[in-house]
């Protein structure tokens, strides 16, 4: 078996730090995950006793100036965000050649866990109501020229029926003068948003998925929901702004609330 060098370096240089390790004033409780660029830990602030999340740039990545500058840019981007559904940046520090920043901790379940591990199911209306919250977050970001570009189930957390968006490692802040880049990143977020809706819609799908059939054939959705998804996924003329999405999303929700005729 041939191992890629990236996997070898991950095991040799990028081992998660041990539980109980103290970084500045934070004690690591457990590793929450290892991504392409960072390692995420649940920690406790030794001064306040509060729980936070520490993100560490993977040591193998930190050897390259471009990578740690990108990591610092991610922290700086988070510093500019002020939204109740996005974890705030609390602290950042460097220990020798290791780079870290600290964020608020959202004690909830991500959509991936809800769907694939807890087998939670959502009706069409429940899915749209939940995604309306996510759309509000996307709207805030786009108003501030920020594009997440990685909106997917592991990065959307639900806590007491409230939606939160995390992981801005691939996010970009684009000058509005760069119209082409803005348009491309905007459509990336819209497409991901449409995919998120589909993930939730498939939670109640009982049939066997087939590569030969599309979601249009497998799912029985309200025509207004289909219109919404087709535009988000670029099957029909795509949306040009969030307000257009909000309008169609509200239309679909109201249509689903109407009593069915017998």
Q: Which CATH architecture has domain 109-257?
A: Orthogonal Bundle (1.10)
- pLDDT at position 82 over 90: yes
Residue 7 scores a pLDDT above 80: no
What's the pTM value of the predicted model, to 2 decimals? 0.90
Would you say residue 5 has pLDDT above 50? Answer: no
pLDDT greater at residue 239 or residue 10:
239
User: Which pLDDT belongs to residue 66?
Assistant: 85
Q: What is the domain partition of the chain in residue ranges? A: 10-104, 109-257
Which residues are marked as active site? 150
What confidence tier does 262 reach under pLDDT thresholds 50, 70, 90?
very low
Q: Are 112 and 120 in contact (CB under 8 A)?
A: no
Q: CA–CA distance from 250 to each of 52, 166, 243 (Å)? A: 35, 25, 11
Q: Any bridge partners for residue 157, and if so which? A: 110, 164
Q: Is the pLDDT of residue 261 over 70?
A: no
Q: What's the CA gap between 259 and 108, in Å, rounded?
A: 33
- pLDDT of the residue at 8: 47
pLDDT average, residue stretch 160-180: 93
pLDDT given at position 260:
62
Name, in order, each residue with C-beta under 8 angstroms of 21's C-beta and a sequence gap of 6 or more.
Answer: 27, 28
Length of the chain as a residue count: 262
3-state SS string for 153-208: HHHEEEECCEEEECCCCCCEECCCCCHHHHHHHHHHHHHHHHHHHHHHHHHHCCCC
Residue pLDDT, tens place only, 83-131:
999 999 999 999 988 899 999 999 999 999 999 999 999 999 999 999 9
Q: State pLDDT tens for residues 20-73.
A: 999 999 999 999 988 878 899 999 999 999 999 999 998 888 778 888 888 999
CATH topology assigned to domain 10-104: Phosphorylase Kinase; domain 1 (3.30.200)
Report pLDDT digits (tens) over 212-236.
Answer: 889 999 999 999 999 999 999 999 9
Residue 4 pLDDT more than 80?
A: no
pLDDT recorded at residue 133: 98
Average pLDDT over residues 178-200: 97
Residue 180 vs residue 206, higher pLDDT: 180
Instruction: Write the secondary structure of the chain as one string of H (helix), E (strand) and C (coil).
Output: CCCCHHHHHHHHHCCCCCCCCEECCEEEEEEEEECCCEEEEEEEECCCCCEEEEEEECHHHHCCHHHHHHHHHHHHHHHHCCCCCCCCEEEEEEECCEEEEEEECCCCEEHHHHHHCCCCCCCHHHHHHHHHHHHHHHHHHHHCCEECCCCCHHHEEEECCEEEECCCCCCEECCCCCHHHHHHHHHHHHHHHHHHHHHHHHHHCCCCCCCCCCHHHHCCCCHHHHHHHHHHCCCCCCCCCHHHHHHHHHHHHHHHHCCCCC
């Amino acid at each position: 078996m041939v191992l890629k060098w990236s996997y070898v370096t991950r095991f040799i240089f990028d081992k998660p730090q041990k539980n109980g390790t103290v970084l500045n004033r934070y004690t690591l409780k457990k590793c929450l995950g290892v991504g392409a660029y960072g390692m995420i830990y649940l920690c406790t602030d030794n001064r306040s006793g509060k729980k936070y999340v520490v993100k560490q740039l993977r040591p193998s990545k930190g050897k390259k100036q471009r990578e740690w500058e990108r990591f610092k840019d991610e922290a700086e981007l988070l510093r500019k965000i002020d939204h109740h559904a996005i974890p705030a940046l609390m602290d950042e520090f460097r220990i020798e050649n290791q780079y870290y920043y600290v964020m608020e901790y959202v004690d909830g379940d991500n959509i991936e866990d809800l769907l694939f591990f807890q087998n939670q199911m959502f009706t069409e209306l429940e899915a749209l109501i939940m995604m309306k919250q996510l759309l509000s977050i996307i709207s805030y970001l786009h108003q501030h020229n920020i594009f997440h570009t990685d909106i997917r189930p592991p990065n959307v957390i639900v806590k007491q029926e409230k939606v939160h968006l995390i992981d801005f490692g691939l996010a970009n802040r684009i000058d509005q003068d760069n119209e082409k880049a803005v348009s491309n990143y905007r459509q990336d977020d819209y497409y991901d948003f449409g995919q998120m809706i589909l993930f939730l819609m498939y939670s109640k799908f009982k049939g066997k998925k087939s590569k030969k059939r599309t979601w249009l054939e497998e799912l029985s959705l309200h025509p207004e929901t289909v219109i919404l998804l087709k535009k988000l996924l670029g099957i029909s003329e795509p949306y040009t702004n969030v307000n257009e999405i909000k309008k169609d999303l509200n239309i679909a929700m109201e249509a689903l609330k109407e009593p069915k005729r017998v």
